[in-house]
Amino acid sequence: MGSGRWSTNVYDAAANYRAATGTSAFAYSDSGARKAHPALDPKGVTARESRDSAEHPRSTPIAVLFDVTGSMGTVPRVLQTKLPQLLGLLTRKGYATDPHIMFGAVGDATCDKVPLQVGQFESDNRMDEDLARIVIEGGGGGQRTESYELAMYFMARHTDLDSVTKRGRRGYLFLIGDEMPYAKVKPKEVKKFVGDDLREAIPVEAMIAELQRAYDVYYIIPTAAGWGGDQEILGHWKRLLGQNVIELDDLDAVCETIALTVGLGEDAIDLDEGLADLTEVGSTAGASVGRALALVRPRGAVVRTDLVTTTGPDGNERL
């Protein structure tokens, strides 16, 4: 996927129509849906693909998966309202070449009906459509853990990126939440929600190591969220991801934080230049973004020299 171009006019027309008719931007979820929309259901999916095309010959895959339980349920609504700003920084400011954006959602596979939702990599207004299809379940298990490791499994084994296979350049994966992953990827949950037969559990550390072959992985933790100030949770993620844990004190700044992290990782800007760009586009998020990224040194889409061939979910060889 990843064909077509984003149109702010199309986005604005859809927003104006919803305002005029009193329709929610998340009508699927707000209508009471309690199962994944068919377009976002990961079960049986061979791979979500980020492909180069004549329109986008050097694709940059950017995946954003967020917790939709408890207080984190506002994240997709913030992302939806700020999509034009995110795309504007990535494209008009040249932060990333031919960005393909995927949205998805994470819950708790031990108790939620919809613990994993994964859209397509898109370069046009279909990414807004994927956001609108997300079920904001609002549940969670209440034990400071959600099934991030299940999302990691899907992203590691069920995505296929031309940026990696053709150019040895990783994509970006942003996980947004305020809780810890479970210690292991469990075969029973993989079978139920993804459809794979997994022989044995995978420790989360091993899952992250596999995932990082294709993605620079970041965890954004809003400090004002339900568990945002919990030092055990923060410390756990830092042990897993090191400096790629981003503490964000303003949830409304999440789009700007993602954009600047990508810009830094692509060596398109330094932090001061990125903050100046935020001021130029009228964003008031500069202070929060500056604090969040002050200690982050994105590795970005570096050229990999250690890639090895493995067998993908479709049975074909992949890097």
CATH code where residue 287 lies:
3.40.50.410
Q: Is residue 246 part of a domain?
A: yes
Tokens 């895959």 locate to 61
97 backbone φψ class: left, alpha, beta (φ>0; ψ -120 to 50): beta
Q: Is residue 3 part of a domain?
A: no
Alpha-carbon distance of 135 to 138, in angstroms, equals 9
Q: Is residue 207 part of a domain?
A: yes
Element (DSSP H or E) covering residue 192:
helix 187-193
Record the tokens describing residue 65, joined without a space: 């998966």
Task: Report DSSP letters for 34-49, one per residue.
Answer: -S--TTT--TT---EE
% of the chain residues with pLDDT over 90: 60
Alpha-carbon distance of 94 to 34, in angstroms, equals 39
Q: Is residue 2 part of a domain?
A: no
Q: Is 312 exposed, middle or buried (0-12, 13-18, 19+ CB in 10 A)?
A: middle
Q: Is residue 1 part of a domain?
A: no
Among 108-117, 160-169, 173-182, 227-236, which stretch is predicted with the lowest mean pLDDT? 227-236
Q: Is residue 206 part of a domain?
A: yes
Q: How big is the chain by its Cα radius of gyration, in Å?
A: 18
Question: Residue 306 pLDDT > 50, yes or no?
Answer: no
Mean per-residue pLDDT of the chain = 86
Tokens 């303003």 locate to 250
pLDDT, average across residues 43-56? 95
Residue type at 299? Answer: R
Report DSSP state, residue 303. Answer: B
Question: Residue 174 pLDDT > 90, yes or no?
Answer: yes
Q: Is residue 17 part of a domain?
A: yes
Residue type at 120? Answer: Q
Q: Which residue has the higher pLDDT, 128 or 32?
A: 128
Which of 231-235, 257-261, 293-297 has the highest average model confidence (pLDDT)? 257-261
Alpha-carbon distance of 300 to 216, in angstroms, equals 7
Alpha-carbon distance of 183 to 54, in angstroms, equals 42
Q: Which residue has the higher pLDDT, 227 or 167?
A: 167
Q: pTM for the complete prediction? A: 0.88
Taking only the tens place, the pLDDT of each residue in 85-119 is 788 899 889 999 999 999 999 999 999 999 999 99
Tokens 């981003």 locate to 246
pLDDT band at 173 (very low <50, low <70, confident <90, very high): very high
For helices 286-293 and 254-265, give the axis angle rounded to 10 degrees: 50
Count of domains in the chain? 1
Identify which of 164, 274, 275, 158 has the alpha carbon closest to the alpha carbon of residue 207.
158
Among 25-39, 57-71, 222-236, which stretch is predicted with the lowest mean pLDDT? 222-236
Record the tokens describing residue 74, joined without a space: 């506002």
Element (DSSP H or E) covering residue 216:
strand 215-222
pLDDT, average across residues 40-45? 97
Task: Tell whether the torsion through CA atoms of 42, 44, 50 and 55 is positive or negative.
Answer: negative
Q: Is residue 87 part of a domain?
A: yes
Q: Contact at 8 Å (CB) between 71 and 225?
A: yes
pLDDT band at 142 (very low <50, low <70, confident <90, very high): low
Q: Which range marks the domain in which residue 118 is found?
A: 8-318
Among 133-137, 256-260, 290-294, which stretch is predicted with the lowest mean pLDDT? 133-137
Identify which of 128, 221, 121 has the alpha carbon closest to the alpha carbon of residue 181.
221
